[in-house]
Amino acid sequence: MPTGAAAGPSRDCPICPRLVELRLSLRGKHPDWFNAPVPSFGDPNARLVIVGLAPGLNGANRTGRPFTGDYAGDLLYQTLLTLGLAEGRYDARPDDGLVLKDCLITNAVRCLPPANKPLPEEIANCRPFLTGQLDAVPSVRAILALGRVAHESVVRLAGGKMKDYPFAHAAEHELPGGVRLFDSYHCSRYNTNTRRLTEAMFTAVMMAARDHAAS
Ligand code: SF4
């Protein structure tokens, strides 16, 4: 079993005071919700790791599984099913029996941030847990970063300089150490409603990451 950062934060991780305050407030308002750092989900021997931003209020923070229960998850899991990276049926519940194949999903920040906007120090605080998660998946060959925050956190933990790895949708970067990083706009409702990200764009970048991971 992994230990320390690789094991993930405890349910009561105290490191980010602002996020702890929000967590405690939501535990009072919604005692039946998950309301804790959300663990990764998927295949521990995956060759593709997807890194999101942070749990959503009504998604992972409520259900306890990344991207489960909100719009971003509808698009993400449907795309994974279409591309053979998941098996079963996505029913927006952590007990829906969905299984990821050769793929694991995690977040750059494990706790719900107000307005979906973690502060730079919160992203930095949580990076050791992302590093620990990636170290615990030595089979990884491709990382798909959903949005700039995930991209920058992955580049920093890999020891890269940000100027050498500019974020752009569908960009590909060779990270120090040989893992390839693929960038996508986040699959949020806002990005799809504004057509910044279409389903076709998202499927294409996911397919490129999948094919590289399996090559
Ligand atoms: S965001 Fe990460 S480091 Fe901060 S409190 Fe949550 S689990 Fe701990």
Residue-by-residue pLDDT tens, the chain, 215 positions: 344 466 799 999 999 999 999 999 999 999 999 999 999 999 999 999 999 999 999 999 999 999 999 999 999 999 999 999 999 999 999 999 999 999 999 999 999 999 999 999 999 999 999 999 999 999 999 999 999 999 999 999 999 999 999 999 999 999 988 899 999 999 999 999 999 999 999 999 999 999 999 99
Nearest CA to ligand 1 atom 2: 126
Q: Which of 10, 11, 12, 15 to mutate to test the pocket of ligand 1 (most atoms within 8 A of CB)?
A: 15
Instruction: Report the pLDDT value the prediction gives residue 177, as an integer from 0 to 100.
Output: 85
Q: Would the CB of 109 count as within 6 Å of ligand 1?
A: yes
Q: Would the CB of 62 count as within 6 Å of ligand 1?
A: no
Q: Would the CB of 36 count as within 6 Å of ligand 1?
A: no
Q: Would the CB of 16 count as within 6 Å of ligand 1?
A: yes
Q: Would the CB of 125 count as within 6 Å of ligand 1?
A: yes
Its pTM stands at 0.96
Q: Which atom of ligand 1 is nearest to the CA of 19?
A: 5
Instruction: Report the pLDDT value the prediction gives residue 148, as an integer from 0 to 100.
Output: 98
Q: Would the CB of 107 count as within 6 Å of ligand 1?
A: no
Q: Which of 110, 131, 157 to mutate to test the pocket of ligand 1 (most atoms within 8 A of CB)?
A: 110
- How far, in Å, is the centroid of ligand 1 from the Cα of 15? 6
SS3 sequence of the chain: CCCHHHHCCCCCCCCCHHHHHHHHHHHHHCCCCCCCCCCCEECCCCCEEEEECCCCCCCHHHHCCCCCCCHHHHHHHHHHHHCCCEECCCCCCCCCCCEECCEEEEECCCCCCHHHCCCHHHHHHHHHHHHHHHHCCCCCCEEEEECHHHHHHHHHHCCCCHHHCCCCCCCEEECCCCCEEEEECCCCHHHHHCCCCCHHHHHHHHHHHHHHHHC
Q: Would the CB of 13 count as within 6 Å of ligand 1?
A: yes
Q: Would the CB of 118 count as within 6 Å of ligand 1?
A: no
- How far, in Å, is the centroid of ligand 1 from the Cα of 60? 14
